[in-house]
Amino acid sequence: MNDFIFEHQINEKLISIGPIPIYWYSLMFLLAFSFGYMILKKIYIKEEKDVQLLDPFLVHMVLGTIIGARLGEVFFYNWEYFQNNLLEIFLPFKINGLDWKFVGFRGLSSHGATIGIITSIVLYKIKYKYDSVLWIFDRLVIAVALGGTLVRIGNFFNSEIVGVFTKSNYGVTFLNRGEILPRHPAQLYEAFGYIILFVVLLILYNKTKLKEYKGFLFGFFLMFLFVVRFIVEYVKESQGGLENQLGVFSTGQWLSIPFILIGIGLMIKSRFVNEKK
């Protein structure tokens, strides 16, 4: 085997409980929410916020992430399929007539998840009135950056969201997909970018006064994360969606542009408002 080619033949199933398989991807999702909860709990204790507010916060986060990510996959990338298979949108089964096969929720969109999280936390803030919604987002994004890293590692285990063929002696051969040529490990590229974002956000939160600029960390997160996504899309296999109609960029890139611009706008606004005080 070439030293620069990794042959991926890891079983995507961690274990099976009866007829129901537990995937590595599911474990990564569970770890993402668990670590996120622990990070936010430390932040709430440090800033003397009511820790009891975290339980409903986690419920909103989980629902917002899963519902948003699923709907993003359905409407941004795969409506052509789901318009004829509506039951599969929120059921973890592949349905073919009377044959139902458990496959889990494997079609999830990070852009949809972002919209879902924002929506769910705005609703949370309306019900539990403390600080501003930007204060919440500025802390939440630290946990989300780490969660995004774990989810992309889960995608790697699942041999999904793969990169294009490298056409060289470098890359990952996804034997589980029946392939013999190496591809760019796009999932790991994104995971690497997100873990850097996580570390940078921790430093900005703990070592600078930028956390006092409401919206700055949230804006930085949006800008950095979706710039990473935009760049990685150049070596990612097409996932379909809007690109056939819009051209020039991939669907993921088109969807990333608004988030990048919003992030830059939030950073500029937060600095401007703070300097006027």
Residue 16, pLDDT score:
77
Residue 41, pLDDT score:
95
% of the chain residues with pLDDT over 70: 88
Write down the residue that tokens 């668990």 correspond to: 34
Residue 99, pLDDT score:
66
Specify the range with the lowest mean pLDDT, choosing from 82-86, 216-220, 263-267. 82-86
Phi, psi (rounded to 5 degrees) for 100: -115, 125
pLDDT tens string 112-171: 888 999 999 999 988 887 778 899 999 999 999 999 999 999 999 989 889 999 999 999
Residue 127, pLDDT score:
86
Chain centre distance of CA 109? 7
Residues contacting residue 194 through CB under 8 Å, at least 6 positions apart: 145, 146, 148, 149, 152, 225, 228
Query: Bridge-partner residues for 172, per DSSP?
Result: 6, 183
C-alpha to C-alpha distance for 161 and 12, rounded to whole angstroms: 14
pLDDT tens string 209-245: 988 899 999 999 999 999 999 999 999 988 776 677 7
Mean pLDDT of the chain: 87
pLDDT at position 46 over 90: yes
* Side-chain-side CA neighbours of residue 117 (13 Å): 23
Greater pLDDT, 165 or 16 = 165
CB 157 within 8 A of CB 12: yes
What would the mean pLDDT of 21-32 be, rounded to a whole number?
A: 85
Residue 102, pLDDT score:
58
Of the pLDDT bands very low, low, confident and very high (cuts 50, 70, 90), residue 176 is confident
pLDDT at position 183 over 90: yes
Residues contacting residue 35 through CB under 8 Å, at least 6 positions apart: 143, 146, 147, 150
Phi, psi (rounded to 5 degrees) for 15: -150, 170
Q: What Cα–Cα distance (Å) separates residue 154 from each residue in 6, 33, 45, 108, 188?
A: 17, 14, 30, 12, 10
